[in-house]
Amino acid sequence: MSKYIDQIKKLVTLQEIDTELIELKNKMEESPKHLENLKNELEGLEDQMEQLEDRLKLLNNQKKKLEHDIEEDSHKIKKSKNKLMMISNTREYHAMMREMDNLEKMNRFREEELTNLLEDLHINLEKKEELNNHIQNLRDELATSQATLVTELKQINDRIKKLEGARKKACADIPVPILSRYNFIKDRLHNPIIVSVKKSVCTGCFISIPPQSFVEIQKGEQILSCPNCQRLIYWEEHFSAENQVKEHA
């Protein structure tokens, strides 16, 4: 009986090591995902910034052109005003008046356009500043995450190495046929590999084991498998009884 308990204990220890190894390997795959998300977010914002800069360039060019046109036509108007004094022909006078009128109208229209454009520019410049701050914050977060990830992965790797050492030692203590059964199940089923039976229910698949098997397992003579899920099973009370003995000792 105590040999049986001893073997179960060793298998449970091995199981604990394997469970932690599985968790660590999952974590190792999950950890870089946050960083990937940040990188994608940053790329999106940088694209937005590029578009915004194109828009600002366009608006600035439009502004330059409008200011230039206003300036040019103002100059024309001024020149025409001076000329006007010297014209005696009525038809010519009216023609020039009309032309000046058109130029002034055009410039008023341009002034309005310029006002709207300046407003648009202002809004987009504010957007740019906001976006810039957002990008800077994200870059900082990314740098921090990167550093954290490096440390985290190193810690995980160190722990895995330690556990792999512990696993070797744990395996050395287990008789080869039992270890082969354990490894056979490990390669084919989801973790865990060895589970307790509580009140005749297998805690691996949560199905009752047949009464015959339950009687067998209580004897504590040989290591049994759950007839349903094939996991190695042990009777919970053997273990707690053993622990109680220990506590009293």
- Site residues (vs Zn ion, CB under 5 A): 202, 204-205, 226, 228-229
Quote the least distance from Cβ 189 to Zn ion, whole Å: 10
Give the residue with the Cβ less far from Zn ion, 10 or 231: 231
Cα distance between residue 137 and residue 109, in whole Å: 42
Quote the least distance from Cβ 241 to Zn ion, whole Å: 22
Place of tokens 């307790």: 196
Cα distance between residue 85 and residue 128, in whole Å: 51
8 Å CB contact between 15 and 248 = no
Give the residue with the Cβ less far from Zn ion, 124 or 228: 228
Cα distance between residue 31 and residue 34, in whole Å: 7
Quote the least distance from Cβ 206 to Zn ion, whole Å: 8
Side-by-side strand order, sheet with 201-202: 201-202, 194-198, 232-235, 224-225
Q: Going by DSSP bridges, is the β-strand pair 232-235/201-202 parallel, antiparallel, or unpaired?
A: unpaired
Cα distance between residue 146 and residue 139, in whole Å: 10
Give the residue with the Cβ less far from Zn ion, 97 or 215: 215
Give the residue with the Cβ less far from Zn ion, 170 or 202: 202
Quote the least distance from Cβ 228 to Zn ion, whole Å: 5
